[in-house]
Structure 1
Amino acid sequence: MVIVLGAILFALGICVSVALHEAGHMLTAKAFGMKVRRYFIGFGPTVFSFRRGETEYGLKWIPLGGFCDIAGMTALDEVTPEESKRAMWRFPTWKRTVVLSAGSAAHFILGFLVLYIMGVTMGLPDIEKAEALKNPDATISSISPCVRSATTKAEVEAQAKELVCQPGDVAPAAAGGMLAGDRIDSVNGKPVKTWEEAVKAIQVASGPTAFVVQRNGQPVNLTITVPKISRLQSDGSVKEFGMIGASRSSTVPPPLKYGLVDGVGGAIHHTGVMFDQTFQRLIEFPSRIPAVWNAIFGGERDPNTPVSVVGASIIGGEAVDQGLWEVFVYLLATLNFFIGVFNLLPLLPLDGGHIAVTWYERVRDLLRKTRGKVAGGPVDYTKLSAVTMVLVFLGAAVTLLTVTADIVNPLHLR
């Protein structure tokens, strides 16, 4: 139940972000004197609406977005004679650009404020140190006195606080002669370079298994009997996998906490890091789609695959269930930066596509002026309709793919 409530809360957070996105368009359009006909949150049938001045405000039943209806956003939009002089396409290029980019700006401002609040309260993740510690080698920091199954939430929480061994519990690593400080080089004849690779190899092992470890610069051959241990998963299922009772200290650096003043600088720096990561994700996005397809048909879900609003809400719900509010809030900030950058891509029908058309008109008219010709007038969007429809179709297909994957094989907090 807590997971469901957390997922709903996260979805509401996304709705607020989208509402602010559309509010950014509306407020800047009004400030420049453009005619804003309607501002609605959601889609579908109208729940209620009211008119304030020349604008109708309202809420619709499906709160998965919203819209701001600005008269004459393109020259193809029908406008009344009264609206004609205030049609958006008649305004200077820079004003149209401000209005079109204001939605993404709202996401960036909201993301920055969330990061600032995190920095002065719960702290911000030290991303740079975390990246430096990514994929550590398989050096063992401690050996457990036993390994035990944990098939209920209470057992998992109890073992997290203190591991109490019972008669009959096995201690595979200790019994096999493994020591703290050993570095695992191979498992069952398979070389491993990182801790993650070692864990995966151990999880699929069973019974007497050959290990090669580096100890004081020398290779040492060990045979460890790997038992199958049952563990409760974040999705409520119970899975069996091999475990030997060897671990390494957490590689997650402590959060960076700031005061009210230096928190501004910390949030600005972290914003820059998040922009960099967002651009990297967008570049990698097409190459991740095949992995989403494989996950739908039973393949292991790659944690680096893109998620939909459904998947993000599931992760947010699990964060609430586990009391990880810092993960919940940080995920909302990350999503705002991603949506903001994505909307600025120069592709129709995204805001960035409209900005690209606006500046094409500007540059074209400047070139025409140098040749003594008059301005060419607004771009005919009907000539772009085929390309737009292809992009809309691709966007809908990717959305359907990620939503399906998030339902049948969702990502979970580990």
Structure 2
Amino acid sequence: MAAYLFGVVLFFLGIALTIALHEWGHYITAKAFGMKVRRFFIGFGPTIYSKQRGETVYGLKAVPVGGFCDIAGMTAQDELDPADQARAMYLKPWWQRIIVLSGGVIMNVIIGFLVLYAVAVSSGIPNPNVDTTATVDTVQCVPATQLSQTELSSCTGVGPAGEAGIKSGDRILAVNGEETADFTAVRDAVMSLPGQTATLTVEREGELFDVDLQVAEVTRLTTDGSEVTVGAVGMTSLPPTDVYKKYGPVEGLGATAQFSGDMLQSTLEGLKEFPAKIPGVVASIFGAERDVESPMSVVGASRIGGEFVERSMWDMFLMMLASLNFFLALFNLVPLPPLDGGHIAVVLYEKVRDLFRKMRGLAPAGPADYTKLMPITVTVAAILMTVGGLVIVADIVNPIRLFG
């Protein structure tokens, strides 16, 4: 229990540090371009500590699950000391504003990469170049029916694969001319051919040849208990080797970059599916089964972090922290205020608008009026707070448990 609680607290602190560094990304880029940072705070709610150093007030608020970097003149509607007019953000070149607004996102991507790199050279990361080609382990008889979810009927012989000469160690590259990336693809292709002839492209000791076999017609049960007719040939697969790989300091850079790209792509797909998963989160609050791939809050992520530490799975702990950084990076790029992406969209709108005005011989129209975006900003903020609250409740009453 002590290790679990330690992991929970440690992951929570990791999240807080991630948020602090996100805001620091805005801070250092704003400073680099001569903008004035009036306040730099971690957390929300009542202030529990603050101290002014130079022109910036630094502080910590009671709820360390967010933060903000208050840059003078971020919009033309901000209250601004006349002395700070020349340093107002909205008067800076558009490309500088884009860099500052992207500073937090860039920082999250860098953190995610560095965390994954540390795992790659210390214990190993999933090998992005792992060979998943279907490799035969055994050939065996094919049960004609499935009696229950855990029991098949008895059978004898070596099955269609064995009768056709398939051997342990053979690599199945294609079925009926269609390339198969892994054993799952081979299985799915075979299941779609009950009672038909299938041609397997096989690699054995460097030689390629085709094997024709008669696919058995069998019945199997779906998850709801109904019977379906599918094809089977009687092969089991050897699991891929080198699924995880430890890298040296130099080769780890390329492998980490590739794996980071894969994680960012997966995160983007998950972000697209995020809205569709909210009803399931709400249902889980009232007793429905919680999907292990449903959204998690700081509470849920910290609990999972505790489970990893309890089992000394530090590599998984760190990879989840990296994944969180990638999620924050992409989420903040959503082009809606008050997210960073919303502010970036406004800057790009101003640039494109003024470009068209220039083509028409007109002067630039000046800074956008953010007051017109207030209804959208308030609505989006309310939705985010509501969804965040629902996910926190779900993580308390029906948390995701990876280990039962």
TM bucket (normalised to shorter chain) is 0.7 to 0.9
Secondary structure at the counterpart of residue 85 of structure 1: helix
Query: Residue 28 of structure 2 corresponds to which residue in structure 1?
Result: 27
Summarize the Cα distance change of 1:397–1:188 in structure 2 as closer, same or farther, 3 Å threshold. farther
The verdict on how the C-alpha distance between 1:112 and 1:6 changes in structure 2, with shifts beyond 3 A counting, is same
1:367 pairs, out of 352, 356, 360, with 356
Q: Is the 8 A contact 2:8 2:305 kept in 1?
A: yes
Give 1:272 shift.
1.0
| Preserved contact between residue 50 and residue 57 of structure 2 (Cα < 8 Å) | yes
Quick one: which amino acid aligns to residue 217 of structure 1?
G
One of 366, 376, 388 as aligned partner of 1:387: 376
- C-alpha change, 1:181 and 1:58, in structure 2 (3 Å) is farther
Aligned residue number for residue 255 of structure 1: 244
Q: Distance in 1 between matches of 2:260 and 2:300?
A: 23
Query: Is residue 300 of structure 2 the alignment partner of residue 333 of structure 1?
Result: no
Q: 1:284 matched to which residue of 2?
A: 273
5+ residue gaps, structure 2, are 161-215, 219-235
What amino acid is aligned across from residue 297 of structure 2 in structure 1? S
Residue 161 of structure 1: aligned partner = none
How do 1:182-197 and structure 2 match up within 5 A?
187-188=146-147
Work out whether residues 128 and 258 of structure 2, in 8 Å CA contact, stay in contact via their aligned partners in 1.
no
Cα-Cα RMSD: 2.9
What secondary structure is seen at the aligned counterpart in 1 of 2:87? coil
Equivalent residues of 1:185, 1:214 under 8 A apart: no
In the TM superposition, residue 331 of structure 1 has moved relative to its aligned partner by: 0.3
Tell whether 2:229 aligns with 1:267. Answer: no
Cα distance 1:123–1:364, how it changes in 2: closer, same or farther (>3 A)?
Answer: same
Mapped contact 1:42–1:62 kept (Cα < 8 A): yes
The total of aligned residue pairs comes to 330
The range that moved more, 307-316 or 21-30, is 307-316
- Residues 374 and 323 (structure 1), Cα distance of their counterparts in 2 relative to 1, 3 Å cut: same
Contact 1:33 1:86 in 2 (8 A): yes
Equivalences for residues 301-316 of structure 1 within 5 A: 301-316=290-305
Deviation string 1:94-145 (CA, Å, 9 cap, x unpaired) is: 0000000000101000111011111110100236759x59xx9xx999xxxx
Q: Distance between the aligned counterparts of 1:300 and 1:69, measured in 2? A: 42
* Matching residue of 2:225: none
| Counterpart amino acid of residue 44 in structure 2 | F
The 8 Å contact of residues 337 and 377 in structure 2, kept in 1 or not, is answered as: yes
Going from structure 1 to structure 2, the CA distance change for 1:310 and 1:248 (only over 3 Å counts) comes to: farther
Q: Between the two proteins, what is the percent identity of the paired residues?
A: 48
Q: Please give the alpha-carbon distance, in whole angstroms, between the structure 1 residues aligned to 2:285 and 2:352.
A: 46
On the 8 A contact 1:308/1:399 being kept in 2, the answer is yes
2:71 paired residue number = 70
How many angstroms does 1:36 deviate by? 0.5
CA offsets, 1:223-257, max 9 Å, x none?
xxxxxxxxxxxxxxxxxxxxxxxx99877964111
- Name the residue aligned to 2:55: 54
Letter in 2 for 1:335: L
Alpha-carbon offset, residue 212 of structure 1: 6.7
Deviation of 1:217 (Å): 2.3
Partners of 2:293 and 2:140 lie apart in 1 by 31
Q: 1:98 to 1:312 in 2, by over 3 A?
A: same
Alignment of 1:110-259 (within 5 A): 110-126=111-127, 129=130, 187-188=146-147, 201-202=149-150, 211=153, 216-217=158-159, 254-259=243-248
Contact 1:108–1:340 under 8 Å retained in 2:
yes
Indicate if the aligned counterparts of 2:297 and 2:388 stay in contact, CA closer than 8 A: yes
Determine if the alignment matches structure 1 residue 396 to structure 2 residue 385. yes
Contact 1:74 1:89 in 2 (8 A): yes
Aligned AA (1:289): I
Q: Quick one: structure 1 residues 413 and 252, their matched pair in 2 at CA, closer, same or farther if it must change by over 3 Å?
A: farther
Query: Aligned partners of 1:253 and 1:370: how far apart in 2?
Result: 58
8 Å Cα contact 2:130/2:243 also seen in 1? no
Counterparts in 2 of 1:359 and 1:306: CA distance versus 1, 3 Å = same
Kindly provide the CA deviation profile for residues 312-341 of structure 1, in whole angstroms up to 9, marking residues without a partner as x: 111111001111111101100011001111
CA distance in 2, matches of 1:98, 1:337: 18
- SS of equivalent residue, structure 2 residue 65: strand
The aligned runs of 1:88-99 (5 Å cut-off) are 88-99=89-100
Q: Secondary structure at the match of 2:61?
A: strand
1:63-91 Cα shifts (integer Å, max 9, x gaps): 11211110011111100101111110000
Whole-angstrom CA distance in 2 between matches of 1:406 and 1:214: 49
Q: Which amino acid aligns with 1:56?
A: V
Is the contact made by 2:284 and 2:394 (CA closer than 8 Å) also made in structure 1? Answer: yes
Amino acid in structure 1 at the alignment position of 2:13: L
Query: What TM-score comes out, normalization by structure 2 length?
Result: 0.75
Matched residue type, 2:66 = G
Once the two structures are superposed, residues 147-197 of structure 1 have per-residue CA deviations (whole angstroms, 9 ceiling, x without a partner) of xxxxxxxxxxxxxxxxxxxxxxxxxxxxxxxxx9677786545xxxxxxxx
Q: 2:208 maps to which residue?
A: none
Q: Secondary structure at the match of 2:126?
A: coil
Relative distance call for 1:47 and 1:215 in structure 2 (3 A) is farther
- State the TM-score, normalized to the length of structure 1: 0.73
